[in-house]
Structure 1
Amino acid sequence: MPTNLLRKVWGFDGFRPGQQEIVEAVAEGRDVLAIMPTGGGKSLCFQLPALMRDGVTVVISPLIALMRDQVRALREAGVEAGALTSGNTEAETDAVFAAIAEGRMKVLYMAPERLASGGTVNLLKRAGVTAIAVDEAHCVSQWGHDFRPDYLRIGDLKRDLGVPLAAFTATADVETRAEIVTRLFEGADPVTFLRGFDRPNIRLAFQPKNSPRTQVLTYAAARRGQSGIIYCGARARTETLAQALREAGHPAIPYHAGLDPDTRREAEGRFQREDGLIVVATVAFGMGIDKPDIRWVMHADLPKSIEGYYQEIGRAGRDGDPADTLTLYGPDDIRLRRTQIDEGLADPVRKSGDHARLNALLGLAEATGCRRRKLLSYFGEEMAADCGNCDLCQVPPKLFDGTLAVRKALSAMVRTGEWFGSGHLIDILTGTSTDKVRERGHDQLPTFGVGREHGRGQWQAIFRQMMGLDLCRPDPERHGALHLTETAHPILRGEENVTLREDTTKGAKPANVLRTQVSEEDEPLLSALKAKRRALAEAARVPAYVIFPDRTLIEMAEKRPQDLDQMAGISGVGAKKLESFGRDFLSVIAGDQPDMHPARRALAGKPEGPLFDRLLQITVDLKRGEDGTGKPLSLTHRTLSHIADRKPRDADALARIPGMGEQATERFGPAILAEIARAG
């Protein structure tokens, strides 16, 4: 029965690894705790059992956007689902209550905050709830990075309803798992499935900061046209980086908690609907985003913890196709994160735990071997061999015995009273006689000039790695001066050795680029299928993947079904979607396309044709301005044809093109000129 429903509703011929056992345990009414990697298909593991049992399954989920997306996807698949959230319209809430009263409701989503309402339990009893599912269950843990106090009420709800509970998360170390069991299952042992944390399709990479803005722009330029997220540590930085990306010709928008709710919702909606959009965000963005075809995630600043890092990179490649990640970090990031912990209001035990989590992330950043092995070992998993899909596997670092260099650096700290930062210490080690060095008599120290064998860049790399290995920490009470940790003393005494990497900023190259998803022969058809998907999604006001995910369109492009029978065999085409969209996509495959505009047809077969198409996309992306709130503007096909043909090289020449007014030149000009420059 599960496989029949899987094919009929979701259009899948089989389960992903690890799903079937969980589905069967949940359907049998057992209490379940499932730790599954992001992209491993968690939602199916509670949605499918909901269709296999009588009554309603209530799903506790943390974000409105996440609930809305999953409800829309279920409805498109023919499943009666609804959500009760603070974002509901009166009509939406009435429709949910009507479905409950008529016994049609199967999956009801609800935010944990609603559990504080006194009438919620009675409502769920009247609705006939027979099971509870908890998504993002790590939010119950005060050790976790997404703690939500209202999650603590879920255990009471389970007891009041007397029904089984299934909890799901992609991020749970040993401490967090123990707290989930205590809080949600009141200490009783649920059936636990640990399906692993490995996401082999995601490429892991770290890079020390060396002109960070250039690094960001270079990375984005190599992935032009692919949807991506760039995480930043500060709100202001999201604004400046988004602006820099737009000036470089990328569709990019900022996102942070300081924006008004309407702007944030618009940003979320655009990211869901549009292909190739870049969101530059704080960690306020992402947990509610269910977009499966995010091709890359970049951290422009060091994350707070290894759990946060894992959760954030996990938003890439949820469709199982290759995805890229890159994390930039530097000494300032390390100092900031240490200071945030030390100056926080947490008790000493919590601070110690936070430092340990940061140490794990820094250890990953400064790893000398396979990063994936290092990452998975933190979550208690061991790999038999290196992954081959991280930067260190693909380009092994040059290592050296750094014991002597580290001892010299630690000695310089001790001899200066642990009162100075790395810049002054490097001056001492390299024998640089600055005014500050001479005024304090540090040119007379035994350590003055003992490190001349390394250049300043290498010493900066050594100090960064020392902070990453937690051999020294910045002291917030001494304005960030470095002081030794207990870990450093055995090295200083000559009892332990340390291996370091050579300065990795020298000759650093951009990471490998993940390019085409299909063969060159199938690319035009895939583009046409995506265009049809986008049109249908915009008409229905739903994210594109709700119509079909990329993987389904790729299979269509490769197999080219000729009728509804063949279309029904494509993975992801269930009965309801076959009925709703099958003929539309068969028409695209058969080549029944709308007539091409005469202005574009005149450029067919010429190099200017593809440039015309890209210019047209620019006008669509910027129709309402960079922030999506401006007065609508557009350019005629004839004007775009003139631009593609003449290829103006500056704003004055562009403004002279027939149809280009002052407002159009101001709005579209920078992006058009950047595209023309790239086209050569």
Structure 2
Amino acid sequence: MAGESTAERCRRAARRALGLTELRPGQLEAMTALADGRDTLAVMPTGSGKSAVYQVPALLRPGPTLVVSPLIALQRDQVEALHRNGEAAASVDAGTSARARGETFEALRTGETEFLFCSPEQLARPDVVDELAAAGISLMVVDEAHCVSSWGHDFRPDYLRLGAVAEALGRPVIAALTATAAPPVREEIVARLHLRDPAQVVRGFDRPNIALSVRRMLGDPAEALVASVREQPLPGIVYTATRRRTAELAGLLADAGLRTAAYHGGLRRADRDAVHGAFMAGELDVVVSTNAFGMGIDKPDVRFVHHAEIPGSLDSYYQEVGRAGRDGEPAEATLFYRPEDLGLQRYFTGAVPDEETLARLAEAVMGCGDGGIDRRGLRERTELSPRRLTTLLDLLRRAGAVRPGPRRVTPVPGGPDPEQAAGAARELAERHREIERTRLEMMRRYAETGDCRRRFLLGYFGEDLGGPCGNCDTCLAGTARTPVEAGGPFAMHARVEHDTWGPGQVIRRDEDRLTVLFETGGYRELLLDAVLDQQLLRERG
């Protein structure tokens, strides 16, 4: 309608196409930015309507929409939801026949289909990229965008190609969506997807209906965990660190009379699908899983999430905890904590690539001249798996040596030689390992704090809760402190500089200490007296 603002057009389209009479916090802001053609990063809790954030502007923009989603089951669920709303949507995956694939792309080119869903692995295929480029994609949606970040809890190397894919598609508007992303994850999403002056819509991480608690264990927590599960309203999820442990705990819960199943990435797809389907249908009381049981678990009535061991970061912990209580009703999240379990997580973060492999890869690219080499030829020459190849190429890209594209990898003119590139790439990997270990240290501090756990957790994500939450074990035990308004330098969110760790931001300010997130040094806790006496930090403008 003439004179109608973009926000008003979005509201009208949301009512007409999706039946949404009211929009939730953040939805309209993100919709409007996308409809106006602006790249957008939306960090919004699950259940806050992230799908509508891209569906509404997609209907207002000319040209089809590509939705990149990591799980086939999740893609199919969203396609079915769009069909129920009368919208034309389709998906392609490895199981799609050549005939169906051709018909799908034809419908996309002719405008019969508005939404196409596929995985990042599909976008590694040049023929798929060519078909999408011919269709004139106007909006590219990256769902679960935290997977692009090596800072994140669910890093997937296949996501690293998406920035180059967007360029190959003629650079459509990009919507990056995720439910949980700490400040460094958000920064890396923007950089890796090549977002241009993006609107960043970040809505509250707080889930006040989830009671948080930690149980300090001296021995194997299995018996205490089973007893706790038997006392809980059902259904629930138990997370554990290893595949072997899933079967062990599932067996103990079954012996206790609960309908339960183990789940991990080593199971056959059919078995994983069967467990997922049974849980969603209410046929299981408890699923015991590694972190493989994650995206796509949008079951509103999960009443508890237990962790049998400490996770590797607060990012992964809060993502997993967030699968409880999505209906807004009371739920519980309990961590069974043994300090010795930290060693297993340190082991998981311990490996860095060797310089010889990195140098061999750099030489394989540079030895082919300015035209570079196609990815298949590079895999054959280096004998690296696709996943590992993508990870190592990203390190060499960051070292300024190569430019990985969707089809070919080319050397950077005037860049470092293979040995120099390998050394710089390994240094980046070592720095990343150190940062990972600071994230694990923050997880340990969460487990051992006597202060309000929710306030600690939200501070990690850049939010200041203010006072104690009243719904965690430390608040109920009376050990949580009411924060004192801290005056003087280094207030919350202050930008600072350290001689060794470089620039950073204060994410927590207590009476006697600061927690600072440094760009190259990760999360560090500093005693305020030492900071002031030794002038360890300088405030930046």
Considering the TM-score relative to the shorter chain, is it more than 0.5?
yes
Give 1:180 deviation, angstroms.
1.6
Instruction: Summarize the Cα distance change of 1:65–1:116 in structure 2 as closer, same or farther, 3 Å threshold.
Output: same
Name the SS for the 2:193 alignment partner: helix
Partners of 2:474 and 2:430 in 1: how far apart?
35
1:167 has 2:176 as partner: yes
Counterpart CA distance in 2 for 1:277 and 1:95 is: 42
For structure 2, which runs of at least 5 residues remain unmatched after alignment?
A: 1-8, 354-425, 482-523, 534-541
Within the alignment, does 1:218 sit opposite 2:227 as a pair?
Answer: yes
The Cα shift of 1:489 comes to: 12
Identity in percent:
43
Shift of 1:9: 4.5
Instruction: Count the aligned residue pairs.
Output: 405
TM-superposed CA distance for 1:339, in Å, is 3.8
When residues 236 and 312 of structure 1 are mapped into structure 2, their CA distance, relative to the original with a 3 A threshold, is: same
Q: What displacement does 1:206 show?
A: 1.4
- The answer (yes or no) to whether the contact 2:450–2:474 under 8 Å persists in 1 is yes
Tell me the CA shift for residue 488 of structure 1. Answer: 12
Q: Distance in 2 between matches of 1:104 and 1:321?
A: 41
Is the contact made by 1:66 and 1:290 (CA closer than 8 Å) also made in structure 2? Answer: no
Q: Once the 2 structures are TM-superposed, how far is the Cα of residue 258 of structure 1 from its aligned partner?
A: 1.8
- Equivalent position amino acid for 1:337 in 2: Q
Q: CA deviation at 1:342?
A: 4.2
Q: Secondary structure at the match of 2:180?
A: coil
2:278 corresponds to which of 255, 270, 277 = 270
- The two structures, once aligned, show a CA RMSD in angstroms of 2.9
* Per-residue CA distance 1:639-662 (angstroms, 9 max, x = gap): xxxxxxxxxxxxxxxxxxxxxxxx
Aligned 8 A contact 2:468 2:480 in 1: no
CA distance in 1, matches of 2:138, 2:260: 44
Find the partner of 1:368 among 442, 447, 450: 450
Confirm or deny: 8 A CA contact 1:64 1:87 kept in the other structure.
no
Does residue 73 of structure 2 align to residue 65 of structure 1?
A: yes
> What is the deviation of 1:178?
2.0
Structure 2 length as normaliser, TM-score? Answer: 0.69
Residue aligning to 1:564: none
Q: Does residue 1:134 correspond to 2:154, yes or no?
A: no
- Whole-Å Cα distance in 2 between the matches of residues 489 and 379 of structure 1? 21
The one-letter code matched in structure 1 to 2:433 is K
Q: Is the 1:233–1:301 contact (alpha carbons within 8 Å) kept by the matching residues of 2?
A: yes
Change over 3 Å in CA distance of 1:53–1:366 after alignment to 2: same
The Cα of 1:229 is off from its aligned counterpart by 1.2
Shift of 1:87: 3.9
Specify whether residues 398 and 162 from structure 1 end up closer, same or farther in structure 2 by C-alpha distance, changes over 3 A only. Answer: closer
From the superposition, tell whether residues 126 and 146 of structure 1 become closer, same or farther in structure 2 (CA, over 3 Å): same
Q: 3-state SS of the aligned residue for 1:286? A: coil
Asked whether the equivalents of residues 109 and 136 of structure 2 are also in contact (C-alpha less than 8 Å), the reply is no
SS of the residue aligned with 2:31? helix
- Which secondary structure does the structure 2 equivalent of 1:229 belong to? strand
Which shifted more, 31-40 or 56-65?
31-40
**Gapped runs of 5+ residues in structure 1?**
400-485, 496-680
Query: Within 1, Cα distance between the matches of 2:330 and 2:59?
Result: 32
Alignment correspondent of 1:75: 83
- Residue 436 of structure 2: aligned partner: 354
Would the aligned equivalents of 2:246 and 2:290 in 1 still touch at CA under 8 Å?
yes
Shift of 1:341: 3.3
Following superposition, the deviation at residue 242 of structure 1 comes to 1.0
Q: For residues 120 and 201 of structure 2, what CA distance do their matches in structure 1 show?
A: 24
Which amino acid is the alignment partner of residue 153 of structure 2? H
Deviations for 1:457-496, whole angstroms, at most 9, x for unmatched residues? xxxxxxxxxxxxxxxxxxxxxxxxxxxxx999999xxx9x
Inter-CA distance 253–51: structure 2 relative to 1 (3 Å threshold): same
Q: TM-score, normalised to structure 1's length?
A: 0.55
Q: Please, which of 227, 230, 247 is the counterpart of residue 235 of structure 2?
A: 227
Find the counterpart in structure 2 of residue 673 from structure 1.
none
The correspondence of residues 605-624 of structure 1 with structure 2, limited to 5 A, is none
Deviation per residue, 1:539-582 (Å, 9 max, x gap): xxxxxxxxxxxxxxxxxxxxxxxxxxxxxxxxxxxxxxxxxxxx
CA contact (8 A) 1:304 1:358 kept: yes
Q: Which has the larger radius of gyration?
A: 1
Q: Is the contact made by 1:143 and 1:175 (CA closer than 8 Å) also made in structure 2?
A: yes
2:336 match: secondary structure: strand
Which residue of the partner structure matches residue 576 of structure 1?
none
Distance 1:116 1:30, change over 3 A: same
Aligned residue for 1:464? none
**In 2, Cα distance between the equivalents of 1:488 and 1:140?**
30
Q: Is contact 1:227-1:275 (8 Å) kept?
A: no
Partner AA of 1:369 in structure 2: D
Alignment equivalent of 2:269, drawn from 257, 261, 271: 261
CA separation in 2, counterparts of 1:275 and 1:117?
Answer: 38
AA of the residue aligned to 1:22? A
More helix by share: 1
Specify which structure has the higher proportion of strand: 2
Q: 1:203-248: per-residue Cα shift (whole Å, max 9, x none)?
A: 2221112552222222222234x22211111111111111121222
Which is worse superposed, 297-306 or 151-160?
Answer: 151-160
Letter in 1 for 2:58: A
Which residue in 2 is equivalent to 1:56?
64
Distance in 2, Cα, partners of 1:354 & 1:72: 38
